[in-house]
Amino acid sequence: MTYTRTHLVLFLGPLLLIIVLMYGMMAWTAAVAMDDWVGMAPVWKFAGWNNFHALLTGTLRQRFLTSLRNNLTWLGVFILPTASLGLLLAYGLDLVGRAERVLRPLFLYPMALSFVVTGTVWAWMYDPDAGVFNDILRSIGLGRWTQPWIADPTLGTFCLIGAAVWQYTGFAMTLYLAAIRDIPREIFEAARVDGATDVNLFRYVVVPNVGHATMIVVAMLILVTLKVFDLVWVMTFGGPGNSTEVLSFFMFVATFRQQFVGVGAAISVVIMLLAIAVVVPYAWWSTRRLPT
Amino acid sequence: MTRHHMVIRWLAIALATTLGATTALYAAQQQQLVVYHWWTAGGERQAMQVIFDAFTKKNPTTKIVDNPVAGGGGITLKTVLLGLLAAKIPPDTFQSLSGAELKQYVDGNYVAPVDDVWTAQNLNANYPAVIGKMTTFSGKHYGIPMNAHRANWLFYNTKLFKDLKLAPPTTADDLIAAAKRIKAEKPGVAPIAIGTREKWPAVFLFDVVLLSTGGPDVYEKFYTGQLDVKTSPELRTALEKYKDLIPYLYEFHGAKTWSDIAGPMAEGKMGMMVIGDFAAGLLVQAGFKEGVDWDAVGFPQKPQEVFLMIVDTFVRPVGAKHPEATTAWLTNLTDPQVQGTFNIVKGSIAIHKAVPDSTYPDKLHRTASATFKSKRIVPSSIHGVLAPPAFLSDWQDILTRFLYSPDVNRALTEISDAMTLDKVTESGNWYWAK
């Protein structure tokens, strides 16, 4: 079959449209970030780097740094437990045999929930008076270990991360389960004949063979930490004070509540640059390590 | 005539009929009113229905296209509107608060004057002057308000107060003293109930403290940027007293919303609570009786009692597709009958002078209505009515941070910086315009 001009338009058209829309919007945001747009109606007044300047050295510095630090905390604390729990659960499911059918949806279930639901439920669980965490601590005689959880400015972000780990573990597990199922069964059987235990199998067969899944899981989770918004909005509203604010939350409040639209666009640009700065080197590094 | 011609002729007839019918149907559909608002919670939804019913009775051919957007104080609706208005597809009317919040739409040229309705309904005489002021920019009215919430209520647990023979406090000092007594005699009770998870209740509490230390003039000057923040003795005193209150606040306020702690207050687990009149509806729904489980007084009483007011407004967007429906809608809102029925359900009070205090079934709203007519009305800062919304957002962050690390000097610097950044003085000028 020969390809005609019609085919070209038919197949490349939608792709081009998406590219134009996506990159067009990104360019638009970048343009707004360079504008002195304050208020509801568009103001096209070129402001150069003023908005970025305000974020880095000006009056918004403190708030920007708090948000950035919290995003980095998310990056540092959220990914490892989520990915490793996902991998352990996946291996566990692979071992339990037929019970998997019952167990798998159970672990996948949190993924199906909206962040608003997760946030609301976890906020209840973190409740210092009636929440389940403090209740458990009190009932096992560890009453003095009870915490204010989300009401504590230093603990807040970690509490949010806890909820996110719960929500995303199922996602990591699914990808890892698929990766484990891809490993040829002969390797497992051969290892067992040689006397390998389940732990040995995990260490020497599973872990070295799920690298490609790790790459996807970690890359996706990195993006989650950079764009996290819903849980912060629902559970703490960035508080107490600004202590749990993240960049996307700051962006939303600055743009839509305070109507510093130029500043909001500048924060969006920062978020995008961060995503590029983190994900691109990671993807490059991990694809190099994959067997071809 | 060939078969081919026959087919074409029939097709032409069919097409003409369809086109004609569509136009006719479209004309019938033309009488619409597209309305956006944020009244979605339990009682609010029913209250909105009262207005809808009254509107439909007066305008039976106009179809209401209802677009409720959940989110207290219109926080989400504003995001939705920003898109609609910028894209030049405005609804026929939408809800806004008055004052600085409404000014944003005026500044963006998104809303048109409503002076025709204002004059036709003689609102200068029928509404309090301050309400006219809060909807007037550059000499023109831009919104039709229809109800007022009172923000400066002190709710308290009646049994607890009877037990301790406490009288409801009248000043900030009184409030601290009462809290001290409660803490000393009932260590298990949190003297002051507050939930700051959504941040803004921290502003409610601060506002009454400032009204107590500075009075209404200082209050209005502060929120319109007319006060020298760093040197004002009243503001410093207010922050110091706010700091003195901290040990008596419910310990885990950062984990609770205002609605979480209203119940415990009525049950006696907490003592007092500064919040708007909307808390009354919640308490009654939860089965707590006014005068038995809880009661409320206007606060502070000294140096003078005021009605700290939040007003809901509807506007006429520029380029609305059904202008007659918009006018009919705005006119309907000013009807005293509609305001009375609506406000009973909504839990606020009517602002039309023709609505008698006896309209309301509960003491709290009857008192509110009487206070509204007899005492000075001060616009509340909440949700960006007096100070611009940009400042309110920073302000509630400053106050909630202060509750965790109370440093008066740092707070004053933060307030001063935020006021400069958010251009409070500049955007507060409308309030002082003659």
Q: Which of B79, B104, B400 sits opposite A239 (nearest CB)?
A: B400
The pLDDT of A204-211, averaged and rounded, is 90
Give burial (CB, 10 Å; 0-12/13-18/19+) of B379: buried
Residue B20 pLDDT: 63
For residues B201 and B326, state if they share a domain.
no
Q: To the nearest 10°, the Cα dihedral for B379, B380, B383, B387? A: 70
Q: Which two tokens stand for residue A180?
A: 């484990």
Closest Cα in chain A to B254: A151
For residues B402 and B425, state if they share a domain.
yes
Put simply, the answer to whether A240 touches B403 (Cβ < 8 Å) is: yes
Identity of the amino acid at A250: F
For residues B253 and B392, state if they share a domain.
yes
In B, which residues are within 8 Å of A127 by CB distance?
A: 252, 255-256
In A, which residues are within 8 Å of B75 by CB distance?
A: 257
Residue B380 pLDDT: 92
Give burial (CB, 10 Å; 0-12/13-18/19+) of A236: buried
Q: Which of A59, A256, A259 sits opposite B417 (nearest CB)?
A: A59
Interface test with A, best of B198, B421, B423 (most A CBs within 10 A): B421
For residues B345 and B398, state if they share a domain.
no
What parts of chain B have a pLDDT lower than 70?
1-2, 18-30, 384, 434
**Is omega for the bond preceding B300 within 30 degrees of 0, making it cis?**
yes
Put simply, the answer to whether B401 touches A152 (Cβ < 8 Å) is: no
Residue B434 pLDDT: 66
For residues B95 and B160, state if they share a domain.
no
In A, which residues are within 8 Å of B389 by CB distance?
A: 257-259
The pLDDT of A114-142, averaged and rounded, is 92
For residues B196 and B335, state if they share a domain.
no
**How far, CA to CA in Å, does A271 sit from each of A29, A274, B66, B425?**
12, 5, 36, 32
The pLDDT of A200-213, averaged and rounded, is 90
Place of tokens 């739409």: B105
Average pLDDT, rounded, for chain A: 91
Closest Cα in chain B to A147: B252
Q: Residue B265: which of B282, B243, B247, B240 has the closest Cα?
A: B282
pLDDT, tens only, A7-29 = 888 888 888 899 999 999 999 99
Is some CB atom of chain A closer than 8 A to the CB atom of B270?
no
Residue B347 lies in a domain: yes
Count residue pairs from A and B with Cβ separation < 8 A: 91
Put simply, the answer to whether A39 touches B107 (Cβ < 8 Å) is: yes
Residue B342 pLDDT: 94
Q: Which two tokens stand for residue B192?
A: 């002051």
Residue B433 pLDDT: 81
Closest Cα in chain A to B255: A151
Cβ atoms of residues B183 and B191 within 8 Å? yes
Residue B1 lies in a domain: no
pLDDT, tens only, B143-157 = 999 999 999 999 999
Q: Which of B251, B390, B400 sits opposite A241 (nearest CB)?
A: B400
Residue A284 pLDDT: 86
For residues B230 and B316, state if they share a domain.
no
Put simply, the answer to whether A239 touches B104 (Cβ < 8 Å) is: no
For residues B333 and B209, state if they share a domain.
no
For residues B216 and B349, state if they share a domain.
no
**Residues of B numbered 385-414 whose beta carbons fall under 8 angstroms of chain A's beta carbons: which are they?**
389-390, 393-394, 397-398, 400-401, 403-404
Q: In angstroms, what separates the C-alpha of B87 from chain A's closest C-alpha? A: 10
Residue B167 lies in a domain: yes
Ranking A51-60, A76-85, A175-184 by mean pLDDT, the lowest is A51-60
Cβ atoms of residues A268 and A190 within 8 Å? no
For residues B388 and B261, state if they share a domain.
yes
For residues B99 and B137, state if they share a domain.
yes
One-character DSSP codes across A201-244: HIIIIIHHH-HHHHHHHHHHHHHHHHH--HHHHHHTTT-STTTT
- Distance between CA A129 and CA B38 in Å, rounded? 31
Closest Cα in chain A to B419: A59
Q: Which of B255, B389, B401 sits opposite A128 (nearest CB)?
A: B255
In B, which residues are within 8 Å of A236 by CB distance?
A: 197, 254
How is chain A split into domains, by residue range? 58-289
The complex's ipTM works out to 0.87
In A, which residues are within 8 Å of B88 by CB distance?
A: none
For residues B135 and B118, state if they share a domain.
yes
Q: What are phi and psi of B351, to 5 degrees?
A: -105, -10
In A, which residues are within 8 Å of B401 by CB distance?
A: 240-243
pTM: 0.88
Place of tokens 């941070």: B401
- Distance between CA A207 and CA A166 in Å, rounded? 22
Interface test with A, best of B77, B105, B111, B197 (most A CBs within 10 A): B197
Handedness of CA B376, B381, B383, B388 (dihedral sign): positive
In B, which residues are within 8 Å of A36 by CB distance?
A: none
Supply the range of the domain harboring residue B394.
Answer: 153-308+381-432
User: What is the architecture of the domain spanning A58-289?
Assistant: Orthogonal Bundle (1.10)
Q: Please give the residue that has the higher pLDDT: either A243 or A11.
A: A243
The residues, any chain, with a CB within 8 Å of residue A37's CB and separated by 6 or more, are A43, A44, A45, A261, A262, A265
Q: In angstroms, what separates the C-alpha of A258 from chain B's closest C-alpha? A: 4
Per-residue pLDDT for A143 more than 80?
yes
Look at strands B294-298 and B153-157 and give their pairing.
Answer: antiparallel
- Distance between CA B156 and CA B270 in Å, rounded? 9
Q: Which of B255, B420, B422 sits opposite A148 (nearest CB)?
A: B255
**Residues of B numbered 115-134 whose beta carbons fall under 8 angstroms of chain A's beta carbons: which are they?**
none
Look up the CATH number of the domain holding residue B354. 3.40.190.10
Q: In angstroms, what separates the C-alpha of B139 from chain A's closest C-alpha? A: 21
Residue A42 pLDDT: 84
Q: How many domains does chain B have?
A: 2
Q: Which of A123, A149, A260 sits opposite B390 (nearest CB)?
A: A260
Q: What are phi and psi of B34, to 5 degrees?
A: -90, 115
Chain A interface residues facing chain B, Cβ-Cβ under 8 Å? 39-42, 59-60, 123, 126-129, 148-153, 236-243, 253, 256-260
Put simply, the answer to whether B252 touches A129 (Cβ < 8 Å) is: yes
